[in-house]
Amino acid sequence: MIGRLNHVAIAVPDLEAAAARYRDVLGARVGAPQPEPEHGVTVVFIELPNTKLELLHPLGEDSPIKGFLEKNPAGGIHHICFEVEDILAARDRLVAQGARVLGSGEPKIGAHGKPVLFLHPKDFNGTLIELEEV
């Protein structure tokens, strides 16, 4: 069911410093910060040859990564995202097998303009998993 690893998302306390580290020290292709107010984050995309990284920094009061950074002030890997062909079929299969979908259970439009769902980390070894329909 799951396809490509779409991205690894890393929450960071200082977006400019983190972007500079990846660009200058690791020599990666690092984009400009993109505010995404509807998702409560500012994102820096890092393009690798086979996938991408997303550096996330909170934007606004209700950012979904605010609590994570309070618990992990230095930052850390926040989630990984797998691509699926049909997100409703994926959700139904997951739920039928007892996995928990976060929130209402209905896909939302994610940061790339595609439908996404998040799965409960307790069902997947402490790993927050995003599914994105592509």
Instruction: Tell the smallest beta-carbon distance from residue 105 to its own copies (Å).
Output: 16
Q: What Å distances lie between residue 69 and 49, 74, 105, 130, CA to CA?
A: 28, 7, 25, 18
Ranges within 7-46 binding its own copies (CB under 8 A)? 8, 10-13, 18, 21, 24-28
End-to-end CA distance of the chain: 13
**Is residue 99 near its own copies by the rule CB under 8 A?**
yes
What is the signed CA dihedral for 102, 51, 65, 18, rounded to 10 degrees?
170
The residues near 102 (Cβ < 8 Å, ≥ 6 apart) are 117, 118, 119, 120
Instruction: Tell the smallest beta-carbon distance from residue 59 to its own copies (Å).
Output: 17
Ranges within 40-79 binding its own copies (CB under 8 A)? 48-51, 53, 55, 72, 74-77
Q: Is 130 a catalytic residue?
A: yes
Q: What Å distances lie between residue 74 and 20, 50, 71, CA to CA?
A: 16, 27, 9
Q: How many residues bind its own copies (CB under 8 A)?
A: 43
| Contact footprint for its own copies (CB under 8 A) | 1-5, 8, 10-13, 18, 21, 24-28, 48-51, 53, 55, 72, 74-77, 80, 82, 93-94, 97-99, 121-127, 129
